[in-house]
A and B are shown apart, each in its own frame.
Chain A
């Protein structure tokens, strides 16, 4: 089995370490005996539409606007969605997939893959996130680190990824991210798949790899970060 992982524009959507998601997926897939091909698509390159799994990361306003413009030409991600392949989009990448987002003060059109709009919040949302996933990924809790100035408003009835216990996530609704068909959006860096082995395995299963087991150290990191967040939450409650 060969898995083709496509990382979209890590050269401009790579400010927050989200390329780590691709590295984690490759590592996990190989541990099952599968072969992997990681395609890092540069901002001037053509986006291949025959990948098994797609990743978008966070970036600053200017680069985010550039990435959105490039992805509008030829609509490659819409074709990926039609093929039902999983897409994981983080932060600026998540905002781009919506109907609209705001960069450098201007409202710009998104790719219209997610029924959501991202709008500036009154304050920047920065810090650790503790959440409960609303999909079965073999984890009761997820952790990550968010750092964003916009919040995302989902249309009524659209399913978020996780319920926030600590942090801001989408910013207003008490949830983080979104799940629409094979597309998952989230505000969590960390990177999210390093912190949450269950989600990494879930994505690989969606890409056709069957059962995947994370390494002991991968589970350890999830446990350590989740425990630290729970303890910190309890300290806040007591104080």
Chain B
């Protein structure tokens, strides 16, 4: 079979299977067509270029915030832009490319950290957005330092790196990139980067960070965003960000999205910054629901966080919420099998109150919370946990869960009569 025929066959099979799985669970619909296309043509991602269907692409990677930042970039690129939603392995990207129409000229893909070099080699993207590096699922990923080195292997395939200046693990591996735009955010999780990623000496954190031994230091930020959302370029205020999502980490994500789109399209950062808004949450993240199937019609806001850095950032934001707290923990392969990391989440710094632990590993979480001083109730069934929280009188519920716990709760929402709340931009 000729190469052109094989590419076309791969695309046709992927498109047909996409039509076939449309009635199947959504997640499979995002991966199966791409798996088939890549099985027929392992270089499927690469050949779009040869067919005159090349897209100008932005890749988004890092431990936390990939899906959210990708959603922000897509908002900025417009409705015709191609984008994956959470399915961030090569077959997820292939699925989107197989289905893409010839009108699609721009694309943004979130990419799992380990697959950045191979996806970049195939797509030669205009921009790589590198959000942060912290530990996640140590049982199945490389340790975080080795993963950072892996991402840096993509340097020669990328025009511009847009990255977080506050993250030493990123900076230590950025020297190979042709062009770097550095963005600095309001605050950082730094427990994973206390020794220098280059020479293992200690890092000093003042207003910027530096290594006391080898001289690795925070690069001068091209853009900076403060906790109020004020975006500055080289110290000069240029725009106010309204990402429509809570948390200072989302201000950094929005800034990175804006700078990335400006770099890829030649647009003006000031103009783009006004439009970097996600209004309805992202795949259920940061979304508020009204539970019409529960007698008191409580509200429920759902948060997803997968690792200590993510839990830390989300809990800091939830601290003042006048709401019943439900925390969900699973330990499936997609979550990481080891739950030890919950002991690194600083629950002690939260206001101590009643909390409901749920999910498959509710007991692990409950002991952690008991030791932190919380009054904990265990309810293994997540649906029952939400109903229990609703019975406690405040009628506002905040749920934070890790990956598969969160997804299974979102799956349970119809049974609770959940309707996405309208008219509220920011949940908390």
Contact = CB atoms under 8 A, between A and B. Distances in A.
Contacts of A43: 194-195, 202
B177 to A, nearest CB: 22
B338 A189 contact: yes
Interface stretch (B160-168, B279-287, B291-299, B365-373): B365-373
Nearest to A216: B370
Contacts of B197: 62
Interface in B323-378: 337-344, 363-364, 366-368, 370-372, 376
B369 to A, nearest CB: 9
Interface in B113-167: 135, 138-140, 143-145
B200 interface: yes
Contacts of B372: 23
A63 interface: yes
A191 B138 contact: no
A191 B340 contact: yes
| Chain A interface bracket (under 10, 10 to 19, 20 to 34, 35 or more) | 35 or more
Contacts of A24: 371
Nearest to B343: A20
A21 to B, nearest CB: 8
A65 B199 CA distance: 11
B424 interface: no
Contacts of B363: 217, 220-221, 224
Contacts of A145: 139, 337-340
B202 A15 contact: no
Contact of B338 (A27, A60, A147): A147
B178 to A, nearest CB: 27
B364 A221 contact: yes
A218 to B, nearest CB: 6
A62 B191 CA distance: 15
B381 interface: no
A224 to B, nearest CB: 5
A8 interface: no
A100 B364 CA distance: 34
Nearest to A62: B200
Contacts of A147: 138-139, 338
Given A17-B344, A66-B195, A217 B143 contact: no
Given A60-B143, A66-B195, A127-B139, A23 B371 contact: yes
Q: Which of A12, A17, A127, A147 has the most CB of B within 10 A?
A: A17
Contacts of B340: 16-18, 20, 145, 189-191
Interface string A189-233: 111001000000000000000000001011011001000000000
A128 to B, nearest CB: 7
Contacts of B341: 16-17
B145 A194 contact: no
Nearest to B338: A145
A27 B197 CA distance: 34
A181 to B, nearest CB: 27
A128 B145 CA distance: 24
B143 A127 contact: no
Given A60-B143, A127-B337, A147-B338, A194 B138 contact: no
Nearest to B146: A60
B370 A194 contact: no
19 contacts: A12-B194, A16-B138, A16-B338, A17-B342, A17-B343, A18-B340, A24-B371, A63-B195, A66-B195, A66-B200, A126-B140, A128-B337, A145-B338, A194-B364, A194-B368, A215-B367, A215-B370, A220-B367, A221-B364
Which 10 interchain pairs have the tightest Cβ spacing? A20-B343, A17-B340, A62-B200, A17-B343, A145-B338, A11-B194, A27-B371, A189-B340, A66-B200, A60-B143
